Structure 1
Amino acid sequence: MTALEFSYKVDQLTSSLKPFALKLTKDMEDANDLLQETVLKAFTNRDKFAEGTNLKAWMYTIMKNTFITNYQRMVRRNTFIDTTENLHYINSSDSIIQNKAHTNFAMKDINNAIDNLQDSYKVPFMMHFRGFKYHEIADKLNIPIGTVKNRIHIARKELKSKLKVYGKK
């Protein structure tokens, strides 16, 4: 295949490669960059294309591999390598240190709120929380299933009211 024929066929394929690039990158500018890089690699490696094989599949493979390589490069760029003897890999975006004091206070408040529920609401609620199904709770406590659902609902409502300070902001 001559260079002119190869160029013509690659040019014909760019319109079908663009949606694939957009699907991979989910951004129009990145998709255009990926398409451009794919076409450049195809022209650079034209001698490696075996005539008689599927050019479209070859181009899709180049695009997919280019995307994967770029993605891995981006991930590596965002990772610090600790050169101490422990050789830890630390992602820079996850390097926030918290002392969990807020969590400890919240758990203490949640436990206090649950402890202050009436037993008729607390017992079914805690059983449901531990994974029991409504019918199992009803059988164990010897009460109707509707009562179980109602008591769990009321317990949740009371807890939500008592713990509203921890609600969405």
Structure 2
Amino acid sequence: MTNKEFTQQIDQLENLLFSFALRLTRNRQDAQDLMQETSLRAFRHREKFTMGTNFKSWVSTIMRNTYINRYRKMKSRKHVNQPIEDFSFALESRNAIPNKGEHDMRMNELKLMLNEIGELYSVPFLMFYRGYEYKEIANHLDIPIGTVKSRIFLARQRMKIAIGDRYQN
């Protein structure tokens, strides 16, 4: 399909396509945007149109799919209709610890929990925490990589349980 033929076909269907876009979006501005985006996509992919088939259906399908994709994208985004000042609490760090003493107490508690799970699990866990890769840990401890992964996984599970028990008591 040539550019001229394409333009003629789109011009003939403009009113029909706009009413379809208006029915989908229920908003005049959004319908105009959808029309523009549909025309652009149809033009970009005009070589995929098979001559002798229904051009109106082809363009309508592009419009419907464009609308659905945009709807899904907008649905997944979070919209905020309040002034930014209302969200100043988000800028405050809840993880900030105001004094060193409280930090030291938490670290001591975590060290005790690590000691409770045993050296068999805590050593690979701490090495992984400090940035060592599984292969490096396996070489250092002279054990298989699968064993390293298993011990780190079990250490995480036991730490979660220990931390959970701490907050339930």
Tell me the TM-score normalized by structure 1: 0.45
The structure with the greater share of residues assigned to helix is 2
Tell me the TM-score normalized by structure 2: 0.45
